[in-house]
Amino acid sequence: MKDLGATLLGKEAFSEIVIGDTAVVRAMLESGVRSVTSYPGSPTPEIADAIRAIPASSRPFRFEFSVNEKVATEVAFGSALNGHLSVVFFKSVGLNVAADSFVQLPLMDIPGGMVVVLGDDPGANSSQNEQDNRHYARMSYMPLFEPASAAEAYSMFKAAAGLASRRRMAVILRLTTHVCHAKERVAFGPYAPAPFDPTPRFDPDSGNYVPLASSVFPLKRRALERLAAIASDPEALATNRLEGRGGSRRGVIVAGAAYLSLMDALEDAGPRPDVLKLGMVHPLPAGQVLEFLASHDEVKVLEELDPVLEPDIKALAYDAGLRTRIIGKRDIDERMGEYVPSKVRDILGSAWPDMFDSPRPSALPAVASPRPPQLCPGCGHRSAFYAIKKALSGDDITVADIGCHTLGSFPPYGMGRVLLSMGHSTATASGLALFNGSRKVVCFIGDSTLFHAGLPGIANAVYNAHELTLVVMENGTTAMTGHQDHPGTGKSFNGDSPRLSVRAALEGLGVANIREVDAYQQAKLIEAMRAATSEPGFKVVIARHPCMLKFTREARRRAGPAWRAKRVRVDQASCTRNLECVGRFGCPSFQVGEGGAISVNADLCIGDGSCRQTCPSGAIVEDLGGER
């Protein structure tokens, strides 16, 4: 695709190979979305990448990265209250941050309609858990669509947007990692941009927007009645489909990406079951499900992660007096991990042993070689962790937070041995510091996470006089999710913006003891940490260095053909092979060869030189030969 922005803005119907995240953006355009908000988190940031490809002057909606998911939800809600179809998107655990406001949305009359796009992550590919957000849909009485592919992400977004607009409500589109990132040729419809009417439409007298005390009950009744009506909405029901009607006495009810794995697994099946593929999973389409159950003797409910559909389907069958054997999850393993074709094949074979004649051979090894996550070569966090570890004793307590610096918990650093959620580190460390007179407590947080969710914990530490040291790992970007800007960068998605200083924010919260050190200056950082951890009260050390992956990419882009990469090398005559560079500094550029000789991988090294101060024999030197 030569010009993604021009492709997405095409007025005529067309087809193109795209990932699911990109397909969602075209659906936004066709649906008339006017406001989009987000907080970056895999697997959804590519939605923003596709939006960025559309020139701002041609973009029919406004987009922003908000400071966190709760704020993003509230901005989208406010825009929808004014009559504008709005979208908010973020990753699975982001819904926990947004939940306080999210669960109120079904109680509201939302004139413009609102779509909440969730990126769930079965298999925990880029998350700290396998959170199944279908539970939130049930808890909040909110409809939920679950596509299985890029094409369905496109069509179901349009269905969700249409439902949200017609019913003046919020609707969930639940994507999963493979739906977000898998490529498929998608047939798009025409795009006819409508003139934008900015007239504010919020009428506070048109409905109750203050759900307190007795007013909650009529609002909850309306939410439940609206949900019940959606269960028979023709457009919503059209997202479900039946395959192989009457061909078998066995059936499978499935939704989402597990459907694609099911189709793959069934390619060499013997007695092939009929399939009811659900697009709308909440509310459960009772009529279609009961009809399917009644026409089959045995039905397997195939769903990734938690048994959400299973208990509802069993309750429907019981109430209807059906004698169909419903097979749900048979063990703990069926509640864990992605439903890849091999796993689905095993699950079906467990339920129906006669379905497959023999195990399907695999060209892949049974166990892949371990590949531990690594900080990038030249990362300032590596230099900081190397220094901070020297400043602490092995008995001291360190607390991690969410971000690239979370990788400091792995060997060889062992920095950050507790992790809960974004922004938790200061408050968790405060608790660990209680009744603790012998062990120092140090916690870490990145600059993006600090603005996202770290400020309340810091305010609490100051207010309640907790004894600990916070290290702010400031690298000037939201690195882990793709280098998005945050309030401390002086830029936003839409251009220049006021820069919120990390130090000023800390001082504004009353932090009096603050030190700032470049993370590459290891001796100064060691000194700063030793001083801070020996002083009473709440202290902050800002370990600052730009993200070197972002820095080198931008330098290469600016230099163009004149770019010349720097490198270091190991002077073999000086090297004493004590392995400080490999075993304790841990840069992946260093490799141990035969006989214990240390070399530098030229494809990985960026020549930043942060490693040179770690070598006790001074054997790491600049490679004057260079490259390119």
464 pLDDT higher than 80 = yes
Q: What is the pLDDT of residue 227?
A: 94
Cα 119 to Cα 92: distance, rounded to the nearest angstrom: 5
For residues 8 and 118, membership in a common domain is answered with yes
pLDDT tens, residue by residue, 475-490: 989 888 889 989 889 8
Contacts with 105 (C-beta within 8 Å, 6 or more apart), sequence order: 73, 77, 114, 116, 140, 142, 169, 170
Q: What is the pLDDT of residue 112?
A: 94
pLDDT above 70 coverage of the chain, percent: 97
For residues 232 and 244, membership in a common domain is answered with no
Total count of domains within the chain = 4
Q: What is the pLDDT of residue 214?
A: 81
Q: What is the pLDDT of residue 628?
A: 35
Residue with tokens 């993370």: 519
293 pLDDT higher than 90 = yes
Q: What is the pLDDT of residue 372?
A: 76
Verdict on whether the full-model pTM lies above 0.75: yes
Res. 185 pLDDT band, cuts 50 70 90: very high
| Domain stop point among 188, 204, 236 | 236
Is the Cα dihedral 334, 337, 339, 344 positive or negative?
negative
| CATH number of residue 77's parent domain | 3.40.50.970
Q: Which of 365, 437, 375 is nearest to 408 (CA)?
A: 375
For residues 327 and 416, membership in a common domain is answered with no
For residues 154 and 251, membership in a common domain is answered with no
Does some domain include residue 558? no
Longest dimension (CA), the chain: 84
Does some domain include residue 265? yes
For residues 328 and 426, membership in a common domain is answered with no
Residue with tokens 């999850």: 329
pLDDT tens, residue by residue, 384-437: 999 999 999 999 999 999 999 999 999 999 999 999 999 999 999 999 999 988
Res. 28 pLDDT band, cuts 50 70 90: very high
Residue 576 identity (one-letter amino acid)? T
Q: What is the mean pLDDT of the chain?
A: 92
Q: What is the pLDDT of residue 271?
A: 81
Is the Cα dihedral 204, 205, 208, 212 positive or negative?
positive
Q: What is the pLDDT of residue 563?
A: 84
List the single range of 239-253, 352-366, 544-558 with lowest mean pLDDT.
352-366
Q: What is the pLDDT of residue 362?
A: 55
Q: What is the pLDDT of residue 399?
A: 95
Mean pLDDT of 89-100: 95
Residues forming a β-bridge with 459: none
Cα 194 to Cα 610: distance, rounded to the nearest angstrom: 55
Does some domain include residue 556? no
Q: Report whether 22 contacts 184 (CB < 8 A).
A: no
Cα 106 to Cα 115: distance, rounded to the nearest angstrom: 12
Q: What is the pLDDT of residue 33?
A: 96
| Domain stop point among 200, 221, 236 | 236
292 pLDDT higher than 50 = yes
Cα 123 to Cα 141: distance, rounded to the nearest angstrom: 26
Q: Which domain holds residue 446?
A: 380-551
pLDDT tens, residue by residue, 35-52: 999 999 999 999 999 999
For residues 279 and 386, membership in a common domain is answered with no
Q: What is the pLDDT of residue 200?
A: 80
